[in-house]
């Protein structure tokens, strides 16, 4: 008897473009067929971006947030979190660690705020970080929605990339996981992505995978959304519950953690085939489920990994979800651990290389 499921998987993977139905089929593949998908994604990765993983030193410099997203542990409404904000010198010390250890890129990530003090602080950090590294360190910001003027100022002062996760490209689901008010506006988030593209940032976005109320159709549309807006990088991973959030009450609707993990790997693999030369991050959340989760993502298409170089005493308070890994490690420990893990996965580390997205480099602005 012919294995029609395997046969159909092979037929889809031979296509130059995937339809939405093709993606939905691939998202539901069983063990044997998903391994066929993974092998195809690995081939595409090696051909278009190479077997190299680039570090982004992650600095979670503040958990003060003006937003109240229903899934997030640092939401403004969570009174159980001890709030902190690193001073400029501490942040620059982390940048210096990344630079001296040949990461060549850092990510400044914090709660979403738009107040003037915050905006000016980021501007000063950008100026000093670029000066300290002779303009060579790559800087990604992940600081939420801002005005065009702020995005422009940050770009002019040294920001290279911007990660603004949409979390779901489906409007109805977006408002199931966010309040529906002027502070959590779906259209504004889309507009911000368009502004970032206009300003010639390397633009990234992403979604959570395995949310309550989420369907395969919605996830397929998420992947097609990434392609339609022509992003340069994507960070996405499994949804993991934080007990002090409103979304936790729907935990009974979730797929198992294993199913969310496998679905995240499939999303990574399909995206690598859809958008062959973009940068794809191996989400830290994968390691919260599987001890070698990030390495598995690298093997199926991811090429970016983010060692946490936040001072260890602050990491415990930047918990977007439960069971976050590596919160007790020092920056040196994290580097040594990841180096060994990546080598085991079959990739080499692009030390001293910024690892800008090939997709971005090929654009004609």
For 259-272, how does the pLDDT look when each residue is reduced to its tens digit (9 = 90+)? 999 999 999 999 99
CA distance 220 to 268: 12
Give the bridge partners for 205, in sequence order.
Answer: 234
H or E element in which residue 349 lies? strand 348-349
Average pLDDT over residues 98-107: 96
Confidence at residue 25, expressed as pLDDT on a 0 to 100 scale: 97
Stretch 137-145: mean pLDDT, rounded?
98
Mean pLDDT, to the nearest integer, of 222-244?
A: 97
Instruction: Kindly state the percentage of the chain with pLDDT values over 70.
Output: 93
**Selection from 120-134, 287-301, 326-340 with the highest mean pLDDT:** 120-134
How far is 54 from 302, CA to CA, in rounded Å? 10
Q: Which residues fall within 8 angstroms of residue 347, CB to CB, at 6 or more apart? A: 51, 52, 53, 298, 303
- pLDDT of 312 reads 72
The residues, any chain, with a CB within 8 Å of residue 178's CB and separated by 6 or more, are: 68, 69, 70, 167, 184, 186
How far is the C-alpha of 182 from the C-alpha of 335, rounded, in Å? Answer: 41
342, 53 in Cβ contact below 8 A? yes
* Mean pLDDT, all residues of the chain: 93
In order of their start, the domains of the chain are 52-361 (3.20.20.70)
Contacts of 66 (CB under 8 A, 6+ apart): 76, 111, 112, 113, 114, 115, 183
What's the pTM? 0.95
Query: What does the pLDDT read at residue 331?
Result: 59
Please, are residues 283 and 235 in contact by the beta-carbon 8 Å criterion? Answer: yes
Question: In the prediction, which pLDDT does 1 show?
Answer: 40
For the chain, the straight-line distance linking the first and the last C-alpha, in angstroms and rounded, comes to: 53
């Amino acid at each position: 008897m012919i294995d029609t499921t395997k046969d159909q998987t092979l037929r889809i993977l031979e296509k130059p473009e995937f339809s939405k139905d093709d993606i939905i089929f691939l998202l539901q593949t069983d063990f044997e067929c998903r391994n066929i998908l993974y092998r195809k994604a690995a081939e595409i990765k090696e051909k278009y971006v190479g077997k190299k993983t680039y570090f982004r030193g992650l600095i979670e410099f503040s958990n003060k947030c003006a937003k109240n997203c229903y899934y997030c542990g640092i939401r403004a409404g969570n009174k159980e979190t001890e709030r902190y904000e690193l001073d400029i010198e501490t942040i620059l010390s982390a940048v210096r660690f990344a630079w001296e250890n040949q990461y060549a890129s850092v990510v400044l990530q914090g709660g979403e705020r738009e107040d003037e003090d915050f905006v000016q602080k980021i501007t000063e950090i950008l100026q000093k970080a670029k000066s300290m590294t002779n303009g060579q360190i790559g800087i990604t910001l992940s600081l939420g929605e801002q005005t065009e003027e702020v995005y422009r100022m940050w770009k002019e002062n040294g920001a290279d990339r911007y990660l603004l996760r949409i979390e779901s490209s489906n409007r109805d689901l977006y408002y199931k996981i966010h309040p529906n008010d002027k502070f959590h506006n779906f259209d504004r988030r889309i507009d911000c992505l368009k502004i970032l593209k206009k300003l010639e940032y390397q633009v990234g976005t992403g979604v959570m995978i395995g949310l309550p109320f989420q369907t395969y159709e919605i996830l397929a549309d998420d992947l097609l959304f990434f392609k339609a807006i022509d992003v340069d990088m994507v960070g996405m991973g499994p949804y993991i519950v934080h007990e002090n959030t409103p979304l936790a009450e729907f935990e009974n609707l979730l797929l198992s953690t294993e199913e969310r993990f496998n679905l995240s790997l499939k999303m990574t693999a399909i995206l690598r085939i859809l958008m062959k030369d973009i940068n794809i991050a191996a989400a830290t959340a994968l390691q919260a489920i599987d001890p070698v989760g990030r390495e598995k993502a690298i093997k199926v298409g991811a090429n970016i990994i983010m060692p946490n170089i936040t001072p260890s005493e602050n990491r415990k308070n930047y918990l977007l979800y439960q069971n976050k890994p590596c919160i007790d490690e020092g920056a040196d420990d994290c580097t040594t651990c990841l180096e060994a893990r990546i080598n085991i996965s079959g990739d080499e580390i692009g030390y001293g290389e910024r690892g800008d997205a090939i997709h971005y480099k090929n654009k004609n602005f």
